[in-house]
Structure 1
Amino acid sequence: MQIGFIDFSKEERNKILATLKLLGTQTALDELGIGVIRDAYADILFPGISTIQTRAKYFVLIPYLFKRAANQKLSSGRAVHKWLTANEDKMVETLVRNSDSKETGIIGKNALKQKRAVKMKPSSIYWNGLRTFEIVRSAGISFSAACNVTWSSAQKKNEAEPKTDGDSFDDMTAGQGNSVLFSPILPDYDFEKTAAITLTRKEAEFLADKITKALLSQNTLFAFLIEHKLNCNSFDEIPVDILAHEMRHDYLLAKDFSDFIIGAHIRYNIIFSNYQDEEMVDEFNSWRTMFVNRDFDLAAVLDRISCNYATVKFCADFLDSVYKNDLQAMDEMIIAREKAVKGDRAKLCKPNEYQYNFDRPVHFYRLDFRFGTAKTIIDDIIKGLEG
């Protein structure tokens, strides 16, 4: 089966490409429709981070390329757009050549081997993060609009009379043409020839400063881990006792929800296996024994975020069935929930079409709310600061 879409705009196209890419990974599965809760807490704890980001370097490479584009005497915003995307492709070879062969996360590395370019460019993947961390200074500006502003600012700069020695700027970026779009970060090396995927100390200091001071990311868990140079191995290992009160509260609510919803996913696998996966049965029994003997406040979890009624009801009904140990009601609501979320693609409603894989249960992992991606960004920044 082929999937198609109407290409209305670059941003809409990239949203669809991102969705299709995520559908190819196990971690993107959301049979029970809890993604709205997962993503809401991810935005609270790790704002500006998305699961398809790979390395921190792109948060500085994109501003570098915009600055270079402004000096190309291009004919329009569309020409700026074309120049940027072409040079993002060229950067792949530069990053591969100058990075250690063991380094991962270079976008387009595999495509380069096949002599092709990736469809989704780093600028699309990182644009929301650039705005969140106020690296892009206009909060709501799109990539295409930024290209137009870059061209327009460059035109005005070229047409303006040179300033005399007695003139000055109130804003340190006011006289830099297009760089008013970005917080000032200029490379102190020839990035187009010598950039590696790792951060320089200057770049790491810049990113640490932006993330810990930007309105939408300051006072978040993400900023805290960077500020204190905490390189935790997993979401569960974050040192809760040293977190500020509100931050600790949000982290514990997210962690509680992860501990809760894993039970629904375990039960999903039991149903999907036609009750034949004994390991999942044992997992569920162990989970329920531990869960019913601990405190859990679902209302507190859901009150912290915006969530649709159907998802709230499913969570509440599942919790009630867990406490009552009503397995029949539990299984019926899980089957109904997947059907409501997935429609004709619901696996539990088509046992003859979808086959359970005993070696790879579905969604058998605890939510980490994008911590895995955030950890990579944090690691890059910490290494850069120490370097």
Structure 2
Amino acid sequence: MPSLIAWLDASSEEQRRMRDIIRLFAERESRDELGLGQIRDAIADSLFPGTSTLLTRARYLLFVPWAYQKASRRPNPAADADRFERDIIHAVKDSGDYAGLLGMQAGEALKNLPSAIYWTMLRHYGILADASLSRDDALRLDGMSTSGDGFGDTSGTRFHAWSTTLPSAPEGFPKSIADGFALQPDEAAWLRDRILDEAAGSLFAHLAVERPTAESPAPWADAAALAVDGEAHELLADARAFSALMHGAQLLYNLLLAEEYQDAGYDRLSDPSEAFRDRLTRWSDDLPSMVNLTTWNLDALLARVELTRGSPVNLNSRRFVRGWRDLLAEHGTDALADSAAARAFMTRRERQHKGAQARLGNRARLASWGGSSGAGALVYRWPQVRGILLDIHDGLERTPEMTDA
């Protein structure tokens, strides 16, 4: 990825910003190797409504409606919208500010266009005027007369697929986007207000006002995030506790994989079992400072997760997280790496969750193990969300001199 960034004439601060955005790709949310996805995603939805791990740059929330507005006024709106979205790839590349660009490598062969990826967030934040509209609906209906007389209507009453307060597209869009992903102050303020209106009381709304730290690895490691109050503060504490609890399970699972990998004679990786033993030891030392297993109410968190989801958590996933909590409470964490009970528990869980795709006990699947399978702690889309928030704050802080440069 670093080869995709133009480093020439970049200040140290610009280089730091570039590296931070690059990390959006390197720090993807931990893979769901143990069936935690339903709980993880519901917590993330509560902390950062409308987001996903695929969303990286805030200005896409304007690029898409601008492209669709322009296309809807043309004879073949679907084809033109497709072309305009692909024009954005070249225009942003030419701007020099292209970290997070969809289609950076694929170019016009890009299969999943920004509209497909960002549509849910456009709906959630009222950028799309009616959340029930599909992409086809937005193209077909935008600008249509509401009187039934078609485009010959002179009353001026037209259907608006997009928010009527949407900032105007820059001159030359989509063929030319001089500022790339850099938001203008009015654009940033408008997106901030959408978040404040539609996600009031959430950590996301709090951080739309209070700038997060660019280097923070998790929301609970960010001073601005920790300053949130009310229900969002309680949810952040629960999110941290759940991440800390389940990180031990993720590390033990990878330790078992590492040991079987080495026992099978594979040596492409250098002593991975020792590395995971060290990580388990550090996790055990840190766990008491992150969660008190005897007082923390896991069941209350699971109830909140089900309320967010609108449906029950998978029964086996619920049993897994409860069983892991109970195992730690009974056996402790000091000798977890060599605990027969913990090892058997983790082996059963993988087989239950993956069936024939389980790696433990499967020599053929171990051969392709890359050294880490979902070993990263859960951070609930933080790298992606932080990038979007920093785009907004950078835009709010732009000066006229920066805008005119």
TM-score range relative to shorter protein: 0.7 to 0.9
Q: Deviations over 1:275-299 (max 9, x none)?
A: 6612312322342344368513222
Q: Tell me if 1:331 matches 2:333.
A: no
Where 2:391 maps in the other structure, the secondary structure is helix
Alignment partners' CA distance in 1, 2:210 and 2:27: 32
Q: Tell me if 1:345 matches 2:318.
A: no
Specify every segment of 5 or more residues in structure 1 that has no aligned partner in the other structure, as ranges.
1-23, 164-174
Aligned to 1:189: 171
Specify every segment of 5 or more residues in structure 2 that has no aligned partner in the other structure, as ranges.
1-25, 263-272, 307-312, 399-405
Q: Deviations over 1:221-244 (max 9, x none)?
A: 111111123335322322355212
Aligned to 1:171: none
Q: 1:121 aligns with which of 109, 113, 132?
A: 113
Identity value in percent: 26
Aligned to 1:21: none
Q: Tell me if 1:303 matches 2:303.
A: yes
Deviation at 1:30, TM superposition (A): 1.2
Q: Superposed, which structure 2 residues align to 1:89-128 within 5 Å?
A: 89-100=86-97, 103-112=98-107, 116-128=108-120
Aligned length: 339
Alignment partners' CA distance in 2, 1:268 and 1:284: 11
Aligned to 1:160: 153
Aligned to 2:72: 70
Q: Deviations over 1:77-134 (max 9, x none)?
A: xx4222211211112111111234xx4011112122xxx4200000000000001111
Alignment partners' CA distance in 2, 1:383 and 1:190: 23
Aligned to 2:402: none
Ranges of 4+ aligned residues in structure 1 off by more than 6 Å = none
Q: 1:386 aligns with which of 368, 374, 397?
A: 397
Aligned to 1:143: 135
Q: Superposed, which structure 2 residues align to 1:207-286 within 5 Å?
A: 207-214=191-198, 217-234=199-216, 235=218, 236-239=220-223, 241-274=226-259, 277-286=273-282
Whether the 8 Å contact between 1:63 and 1:182 is mirrored in structure 2 is no
TM-score, structure 1 length as denominator?
A: 0.80
Q: 1:370 aligns with which of 381, 401, 404?
A: 381
Alignment partners' CA distance in 1, 2:162 and 2:54: 24
Whether the 8 Å contact between 2:30 and 2:377 is mirrored in structure 1 is no
Alignment partners' CA distance in 2, 1:230 and 1:273: 36
Aligned to 2:50: 48
Letter in 2 for 1:205: A
Q: Tell me if 1:313 matches 2:286.
A: no
Where 2:375 maps in the other structure, the secondary structure is coil
Letter in 2 for 1:201: P
Whether the 8 Å contact between 2:71 and 2:139 is mirrored in structure 1 is no
Change (3 A) 1:62 1:352: closer
Change (3 A) 1:25 1:118: farther
Deviation at 1:336, TM superposition (A): 1.9
Letter in 1 for 2:211: K
Aligned to 2:8: none
Alignment partners' CA distance in 2, 1:318 and 1:346: 19
Whether the 8 Å contact between 1:268 and 1:334 is mirrored in structure 2 is yes
Change (3 A) 1:192 1:263: same
Whether the 8 Å contact between 2:142 and 2:161 is mirrored in structure 1 is no
Deviation at 1:62, TM superposition (A): 1.1
Indicate the RMSD between aligned Cα atoms, in angstroms. 2.5
Alignment partners' CA distance in 2, 1:135 and 1:249: 29
Q: Deviations over 1:290-338 (max 9, x none)?
A: 4368513222322221122211111111122222337222222222222
Deviation at 1:25, TM superposition (A): 9.2
TM-score, structure 2 length as denominator?
A: 0.77
Letter in 1 for 2:234: H
